[in-house]
């Protein structure tokens, strides 16, 4: 793969921000993830945060920026072959019943689609996790069908239930906790993306893939019970880079 032109910026005394071209692009994300793995192997970093077209490096102690930029840049330009990065495709169940999808009928009306068409278009793509943030475990997913692109609500709600599946702009995602939010809610997933009792608390990673599949209300109720009792197992597929 051809190397990208990187930019480097100080992010305080203990962090360095590396920026790739400002595009939402699968090849850029793949390069970031591979370089992130190499950095963790080769450099003494406390934490790394990959997202979209950037990689944040956080260090234990104050670092000399110019020296670190040179070291990172030389590492990136070097002829290296990174180890394969472990990625998964997560199969996430969603109940699109209007009890959960409180915006679904209005959303379909505004898009001049049937509810069934919205569900079909939402479950067909394989999405890529480009970032995790806003809330712990909130996945920013790329790959939403253009027909479903839709602005966020003009007036955000103060309380969105955990598991709510929404569409905002060009993206879709799942609210991992109850929170305020302005996305159009079209369904609910019974799974828990983020659980502080688990190690790690968030099982998904940037670069992983997600595909939604539709379930009915009785199945949602069953899965909810299984999740709460700790016996529910998400369907996953190991991906090879």
148-174 confidence digits (pLDDT tens): 999 999 999 999 999 999 999 999 999
Residue range 130-145, pLDDT digits in tens = 998 877 889 999 999 9
Q: Which of 127, 132, 168, 125 is nearest to 26 (CA)?
A: 127
Q: Which CATH number fits domain 87-239: 3.40.605.10, 3.40.430.10, 3.90.550.10, 2.40.100.10?
A: 2.40.100.10
Q: Could you tell me the residue ranges of all domains in the chain?
A: 7-77, 87-239
What is the average pLDDT value for the chain, to the nearest integer?
A: 89
The domain made up of 7-77 is a member of CATH 3.30.1360.40 = yes
pTM of this structure: 0.85
Q: Using one digit for the tens of pLDDT, what is the confidence trace for 169-205? A: 999 999 999 999 999 999 999 998 877 777 676 778 8
Given this model, what pLDDT does residue 2 score?
60
Decide if pLDDT at 43 tops 90.
no
8 A C-beta contact, residue 84 and residue 40: no
Confidence of residue 77 (pLDDT cuts 50, 70, 90): confident
Complete DSSP assignment for the chain: -PPPPPEEEE-STTEEEEE--SS--HHHHHHHHHHHHHHHHHS--SEEEEETTEEEEE-SS---HHHHHHHHHHHHHS---PPPPPEEEEEEEEE--TTT-TTHHHHHHHTT--HHHHHHHHHSS-EEEEEE-SSTT-EEEE---GGG-BPPPSS-EEEE-TTEEEEEBTEEEE-SS-EEE-SEEEEE--S-SB-TTSSSSB---TT-EEEEEEE-HHHHHHHHHHHHHT----EEEEE--
């Amino acid at each position: 793969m051809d190397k990208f032109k990187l930019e480097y910026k100080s992010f305080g005394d203990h962090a360095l921000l590396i920026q790739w071209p400002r595009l939402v692009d699968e090849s850029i994300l793949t390069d970031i993830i591979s370089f992130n793995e190499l950095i963790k192997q080769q450099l003494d970093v406390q934490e790394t945060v990959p997202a979209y077209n950037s990689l944040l490096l956080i260090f234990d102690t104050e670092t000399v920026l110019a020296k670190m930029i040179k070291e990172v840049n030389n590492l990136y330009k070097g002829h290296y072959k990174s180890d394969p990065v472990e990625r998964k495709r997560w199969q996430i169940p969603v109940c699109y019943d209007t009890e959960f999808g409180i915006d679904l009928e209005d959303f379909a009306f505004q898009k001049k689609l049937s509810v069934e068409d919205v569900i079909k278009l939402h479950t067909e793509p394989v999405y890529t996790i480009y970032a995790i943030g806003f809330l712990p475990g909130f996945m920013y997913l790329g790959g939403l069908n253009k027909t479903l692109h839709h602005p966020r609500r003009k007036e955000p709600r103060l309380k969105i239930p955990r598991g709510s599946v929404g569409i905002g702009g060009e993206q879709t995602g799942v609210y991992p906790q109850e929170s305020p939010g302005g996305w159009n809610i079209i369904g609910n997933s019974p799974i828990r993306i983020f659980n502080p009792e688990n190690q790690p608390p968030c099982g998904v990673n940037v670069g992983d893939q997600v595909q939604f599949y539709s379930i009915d209300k009785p199945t949602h109720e069953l899965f909810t019970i299984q999740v709460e009792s700790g016996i529910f197992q998400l369907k996953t597929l190991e991906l090879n880079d």
